[in-house]
Structure 1
Amino acid sequence: MTRLITAALLGALSLTACAQAPQAPAADEAAAKPAPAAAPAKGGTPEERARNAIAQLNPQAKVDYVGAAPLPGFREVIVGGQLLYVSDDGRYLMQGAVLDLQEQQDLMQGSTALARYRRDLLASVPASERIVFAPPNAKYTISVFTDIECGYCRKLHSEIADLNRLGIAVEYLAFPRMGLGSQDHKDMISVWCAPDRRRALTDAKAGKPVPSRDCKNPVTMEYDLGQRIGVSGTPAIYSAEGVQLGGYLPPQALRERLDELAVKAKPAAAGMK
């Protein structure tokens, strides 16, 4: 229990990933500040009140999902890949960890709606637009938003053979954390345009010069998709079910985490039959 609370309060993910470079807010977003002493959001249903509450905070925000939360009296809301709880009257908003002390779990991290949202977005990227390192008959497949300069990304990639030996296929998506138009972005385009993407990515992560190339490529699209999912640093690792596994994890720890998810998924699958 102490371990769970510590992870939730300290945000362990930030310690095992390279942070995305700060992005300048758009003018309309900067202007969209909540009015002081705002009244509870109006609306005929809890879902409408949740949407109205988000609109009060930022009229430009796009709400991707609203549904019942496991916490009574609240709605789950997904905005920009982030999960929020909004009270049914539209007055209160929570973001971060919501701990169920009886079940010893973080309700927000365990949200099936958020995992399903991420899974569907990830599924929109075909294998041909990823850089794949897979063993024969892989037991698990992970999607990893990666950057070629991030130290944790390089460490993860240096252990790719160990991950493959453990039955884990790694499918990379591009996330140039320094932002679009940066040299990082241009270098990742060069990697994705290389005749041998796997070799080019491995060389780039080893610090070797990246020969400049250009072609029709998915780098910007994958970066934008990562933003929608809520990626804020690299590596960002997701299971096939859309569960975020964290930033960097050692190979054995990653395999154990995937095994845990597989065990939890069995009762859920049996209940759907």
Structure 2
Amino acid sequence: MLRPRRLLIPLLTLLIAAPAAASDAIEQRLAEVVPTDAPDAIEPTAIPGVFEVRYGADVFYVSEDGRYLIQGSLIDLETRRNLTEETREQARAAMFSEIPDSELTVYVPEREVRYVMNVFTDPNCPYCRRQHQEMQTYLDAGVKVRYFMYPVLGRESPDVMRNIWCSDDRNAAMDLAKEGKPVPEAHCDTPADEHLALGRELGISGTPATITSGGHQISGYRPAIEIIQTLNSAR
């Protein structure tokens, strides 16, 4: 399981308050203000003297002398591209590609898999149930659906989700839960804590939340046809 990380301190405040450093290395300055974590990537941008710094899916920009930090989206006005979001999508895609199906509840189409979508779901979420009712539409379109544990609605949600993950047939157990039916009790170790931490790192506050294999993040319920169109347009 990919261990999610999140920048937990106000970097902008720390960088402003930090004493001037003799070295112009961004890594050294970041090590001074964020000693508990190292950036995943530091890359030059199209703006001279400004570098893109990434921690997981968190992206910000730092001057080459390490003194100034910019938080926000970098937009190319000529192409109308959100360069920051493109970096975030690449980071999300890499994160989810490292998480194996064996850790999830997965629905695989009988036909060739054309797309993959990762869904943070809760058994007590009405819109999650509505999304699940459209499962066959996704499968017919060649979409593999990978469910992540995100039991945040209702005190019994964690227990229901555990019963699903520990079942001999997760898909059958998930189908029962999505129909509002009881799931036989089962016990085992689950990746619930890791999934919750990953969702929080991505800023997910509710379910369902969908991340495509290309890293595009969709919050809330969307009709299956709409999500499939989004997947088609990303090809």
TM class, shorter-chain normalised?
0.7 to 0.9
Q: Which amino acid aligns with 1:98?
A: L
Q: Secondary structure at the match of 2:186?
A: coil
Choose which of 212, 216, 220 in structure 2 pairs with 1:244: 216
- In the TM superposition, residue 162 of structure 1 has moved relative to its aligned partner by 1.5
- Change in Cα spacing, 1:239 to 1:37, as seen in structure 2 (3 Å) is closer
- In the TM superposition, residue 34 of structure 1 has moved relative to its aligned partner by 4.1
Choose which of 178, 196, 218 in structure 2 pairs with 1:205: 178
- Change in Cα spacing, 1:35 to 1:127, as seen in structure 2 (3 Å) is closer
Distance in 2 (alpha carbons) for counterparts of 1:220 and 1:40 = 38
Contact 2:124/2:153 (<8 A) preserved: no
Q: Which amino acid aligns with 1:86?
A: V
Aligned to 1:82: 58
Aligned to 1:195: 168
The TM-score with structure 2 as length reference comes to 0.77
Aligned pairs (5 A) from 1:1-273: 34=13, 38-39=17-18, 42=21, 44-48=23-27, 51-52=30-31, 56=33, 59-111=35-87, 114-135=88-109, 136-177=111-152, 183-228=156-201, 231-241=204-214, 243-247=215-219, 248-262=221-235
Q: Identity of paired residues, percent?
A: 32
Of stretches 102-111 and 37-46 in structure 1, the one that deviates more from structure 2 is 37-46
Of stretches 165-174 and 79-88 in structure 1, the one that deviates more from structure 2 is 79-88
- In the TM superposition, residue 46 of structure 1 has moved relative to its aligned partner by 4.7
- In the TM superposition, residue 166 of structure 1 has moved relative to its aligned partner by 2.1
Unaligned runs of 5+ in 2: 1-7
The TM-score with structure 1 as length reference comes to 0.68
- Change in Cα spacing, 1:234 to 1:87, as seen in structure 2 (3 Å) is farther
Deviation per CA, 1:209-235, whole angstroms, max 9, x where unpaired? 344321133333333344455544433
Q: Which amino acid aligns with 1:171?
A: R
- Change in Cα spacing, 1:47 to 1:143, as seen in structure 2 (3 Å) is same
Distance in 2 (alpha carbons) for counterparts of 1:47 and 1:33 = 14
Deviation per CA, 1:116-142, whole angstroms, max 9, x where unpaired? 433333233222222112222121111
Deviation per CA, 1:180-236, whole angstroms, max 9, x where unpaired? xx6433321111112221122122233333443211333333333444555444333
Contact 2:15/2:69 (<8 A) preserved: no
Unaligned runs of 5+ in 1: 1-28, 263-273
Contact 1:76/1:85 (<8 A) preserved: yes
Distance in 1 (alpha carbons) for counterparts of 2:200 and 2:233 = 27
Of stretches 131-140 and 88-97 in structure 1, the one that deviates more from structure 2 is 88-97
Higher helix share: 1
- In the TM superposition, residue 178 of structure 1 has moved relative to its aligned partner by 6.1
In the alignment of these two chains, the number of paired residues is 226
Q: Secondary structure at the match of 1:67?
A: strand
- Change in Cα spacing, 1:43 to 1:36, as seen in structure 2 (3 Å) is closer
